[in-house]
């Protein structure tokens, strides 16, 4: 166990960033585990435990700050559950190389979103029937991504709420954490039934991520967001490039770079 205690600070750092930007910490945890040679299903399922822990801590803090749209969050969260079941099941058969390519693409979209998130804000909109239908479909798709990659579904939900629904960013990111609570919990259950996670590793990540979520939610009130955007998006882009290189070269671990 001692040689795996590094997972706690990894979860803590990922929890801080995941809470602040509303995407969950999986966009940090999964690439690092993948670089170190963890199989895709283990990396994704372990990361979901961290995402769940992070979502619990963030939701508690953001709720006290009264920044969560509970009605919307509960509805979208419940709509993710069928997708998370499907995502966990199909993740069993993915090869390491394909997983790296697909996750690299997800990271690029995440980086672009993080960098442009302030520019995405629009005036509040009245939800049309078309947007409601789109939100239902997006929730199902986000559930698949959440469980398949172990990242939660914030990369779908935050832009959906900000661009599609006109919600302010300061409320969209917290509401996303409530949604991720449902998505990550259902994903954790299905992955566990399928025997994917290493529970010791997942537990250590979850411990760090919980406290990181508490810190990140508080820091989100004061941090200069532009600096955070540049730092996080740069790191994620580097990770995406590394994943693409590894997938093409056939390397399975960090030492193979």
pLDDT tens, residue by residue, 78-111: 999 999 999 999 988 888 888 888 888 888 887 7
Sign of CA dihedral 50, 17, 115, 97: negative
Question: What pLDDT score was predicted for residue 22?
Answer: 67
Q: Provide the pLDDT confidence category of residue 136 given band limits of 50, 70 and 90.
A: confident
Residue 117 confidence class, pLDDT cut points 50, 70, 90: low
Higher pLDDT, 68 or 128: 68
pLDDT band at 168 (very low <50, low <70, confident <90, very high): confident
Identify whether the C-beta of residue 61 lies closer than 8 Å to the C-beta of residue 46. no
Q: CA-to-CA distance for 176 and 1, rounded, in angstroms?
A: 33
pLDDT tens string 181-229: 999 999 999 999 999 999 999 999 999 999 998 888 888 777 666 666 6
Mean pLDDT for 113-126 is 64
pTM attached to this predicted model: 0.82
d(CA 83, CA 222): 35
* Spans of all domains in the chain: 2-248
SS3 57: helix
Which band of pLDDT confidence, cut at 50, 70 and 90, is reported for residue 131? confident
**Per-residue pLDDT at 256 exceeds 50:** no
Mean pLDDT of the chain: 83
Dihedral of CA 42/43/44/45: which sign? positive
């Amino acid at each position: 166990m001692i040689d795996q205690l590094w997972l706690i600070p990894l979860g803590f750092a990922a929890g801080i960033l995941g809470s602040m930007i509303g995407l969950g910490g999986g966009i940090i945890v999964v690439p690092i585990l993948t670089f170190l040679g963890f199989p895709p299903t283990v990396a994704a399922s372990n990361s979901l435990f961290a995402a769940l822990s992070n979502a619990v801590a963030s939701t508690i803090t953001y709720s006290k700050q009264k920044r969560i749209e509970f009605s919307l969050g509960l509805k979208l969260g419940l709509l993710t559950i069928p997708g998370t079941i499907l995502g966990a099941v199909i993740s069993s058969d993915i090869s390491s190389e394909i997983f790296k390519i697909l996750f690299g693409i997800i990271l690029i979209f995440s980086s672009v979103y993080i960098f442009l998130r302030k520019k995405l804000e629009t005036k509040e909109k009245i939800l049309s029937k078309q947007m409601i239908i789109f939100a239902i479909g997006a929730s199902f798709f986000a559930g698949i991504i959440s469980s398949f990659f172990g990242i939660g579904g914030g990369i779908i939900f935050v832009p959906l709420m900000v661009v599609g629904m006109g919600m302010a960013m300061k409320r969209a990111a917290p509401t996303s954490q409530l949604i991720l609570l449902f998505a990550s919990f259902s994903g954790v259950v299905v992955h566990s039934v399928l025997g994917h996670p290493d529970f010791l590793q997942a537990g250590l990540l979850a411990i760090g991520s919980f406290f990181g979520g508490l810190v990140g939610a508080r820091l989100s009130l004061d941090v200069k967001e532009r600096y955070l955007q540049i730092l996080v998006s740069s790191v994620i882009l580097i990770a995406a490039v590394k994943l693409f290189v590894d997938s093409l070269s056939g390397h399975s671990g960090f030492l193979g770079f």
